[in-house]
Structure 1
Amino acid sequence: MSNRNSHQNKQAARDRMRAERERQAKKDRARRQLVVGGAVVAILAIAGGIGYAVTQMNGGGNAGKEWTAAAEKKALVKPAHTTGPQGTTVIIGDQKAKNTLHVYEDMRCPYCAQFEQLTGTTVAKDIKNGTFKAQYTMGTFLDAKTGAGSKNALSALGAALNVSPDAFLEYKSALYSAKNHPKETDDAFAGDQKLIEIAQQVKALKGNKTFEKAVTNGTYDRWALAMSKSFNDTKDVSSTPTLKLNGKILKTDQEGVPLTPDQFTPLVQQNLKK
Structure 2
Amino acid sequence: MSKRNNWENKQSARERLRAEREQQAKREKARRQFVVAGAVVGVLAIAGGIAYGVSRMSDGGGDKSTSAAWKAAAEQTLVKPANTAGDNGTEIVIGKKDARHTLEVYQDMRCPICSVFEQNVGDTIDKDVKDGKYKVSYRIGTFLDRNPQIAGTGSKNALSALGAALNVSPEAFSAYNKALYSKANHPEETKDDFSKDDVLLKVAQQIPALKGNAQFEKNVKDGTFDKWALEVSDTFDKAKDVTGTPTLKIDGKKLQVETANGKGVPMTPQQFGPAVAEHLK
Task: State, as a whole percentage, how many aligned pairs show the same letter.
Answer: 55
Q: Which residue of 2 aligns with 1:113?
A: 115
Aligned to 1:162: 167
1:102 aligned residue:
104
Q: Residues 110 and 183 of structure 1 are in contact (CA less than 8 Å); yes or no, is this contact kept in structure 2?
A: yes
1:210 aligns with 2:198: no
Amino acid at match of 2:274: P
**Residue in structure 2 matched with residue 81 of structure 1 by the alignment:** 83
Amino acid at match of 2:266: P
Task: Summarize the alignment of residues 131-210 of structure 1 with structure 2, pairs less than 5 Å apart.
Answer: 131-145=133-147, 146-210=151-215
1:188-217 per-residue CA deviation (whole Å, 9 max, x = no partner) reads 000001101100000100000000000000
Q: Residue 219 of structure 1 aligns to a residue in which SS? A: coil
Pair 1:64–1:272, CA change in 2 (3 A): farther
SS of the residue corresponding to residue 66 of structure 1 reads: helix
Alpha-carbon deviation of 1:75? 1.1
3-state SS of 1:197 partner: helix
| Amino acid corresponding to residue 148 of structure 1 in structure 2 | T
Contact 1:90 1:135 in 2 (8 A): yes
Structure 1: give runs of 5+ residues left out of the alignment: 1-61
CA–CA separation in structure 1 for the residues paired with 2:241 and 2:267: 19
* RMSD (Å) for aligned C-alpha atoms: 1.3
The offset of 1:66, in angstroms, is 1.5
8 Å CA contact 1:88–1:230 kept in 2: the answer is: yes
CA contact (8 A) 1:188 1:194 kept: yes
Structure 2 counterpart of 1:121, which letter? D
CA distance in 1, matches of 2:239, 2:252: 12
In 1, Cα distance between equivalents of 2:133 and 2:121: 15
The offset of 1:259, in angstroms, is 2.0
Look up the match of 1:235. Answer: 240
- Conserved? CA contact 1:108–1:184, under 8 Å: yes
Could you tell me which of 88, 91, 94 is aligned with 1:92? 94
Paired AA for residue 86 in structure 1: N
After TM superposition, give the deviation of residue 77 of structure 1 in Å. Answer: 0.6
Specify every segment of 5 or more residues in structure 2 that has no aligned partner in the other structure, as ranges: 1-63
Which one of the candidate residues 251, 264, 271 is aligned to 1:246?
Answer: 251
After TM superposition, give the deviation of residue 100 of structure 1 in Å.
0.4
Identify which of 58, 68, 71 aligns with 1:69: 71
After TM superposition, give the deviation of residue 119 of structure 1 in Å.
0.7
1:267 correspondence with 2:278? no
Q: Could you tell me which residue of structure 1 aligns to residue 125 of structure 2? A: 123
User: Structure 2 CA distance, aligned partners of 1:160 and 1:263?
Assistant: 30
Per-residue CA distance 1:31-70 (angstroms, 9 max, x = gap):
xxxxxxxxxxxxxxxxxxxxxxxxxxxxxxx945223212
Contact 1:100–1:133 (CA<8 Å) still a contact in 2? yes
The total of aligned residue pairs comes to 212
Three-state SS of the structure 2 residue aligned to 1:225 is helix
Contact 2:129 2:135 in 1 (8 A): yes
Is 1:257 the equivalent of 2:262? no
Letter in 2 for 1:147: G
CA contact (8 A) 2:65 2:196 kept: no
Q: Give 1:59's aligned residue.
A: none
Residue 257 of structure 1 deviates from its aligned partner by: 2.0
Query: What is the TM-score when the length of structure 1 is the normalising length?
Result: 0.75
Q: Contact conserved, 1:64 with 1:144, CA < 8 A, in 2?
A: no
CA distance in 2, matches of 1:265, 1:157: 27
Please say if residues 249 and 255 of structure 2, whose CA atoms lie closer than 8 Å, have aligned partners that are also in contact. yes
User: Could you give the per-residue CA deviations for residues 6-39 of structure 1, whole angstroms, max 9, x where no partner exists?
Assistant: xxxxxxxxxxxxxxxxxxxxxxxxxxxxxxxxxx
User: How far apart in 1 are the matches of 2:267 and 2:164?
Assistant: 28
Return the alpha-carbon distance in structure 1 between the equivalents of residues 226 and 65 of structure 2: 14
Do 1:79 and 1:158's aligned partners in 2 also have CA atoms closer than 8 Å?
yes
Query: Residues of 2 paired with 1:236 and 1:67: CA distance?
Result: 30
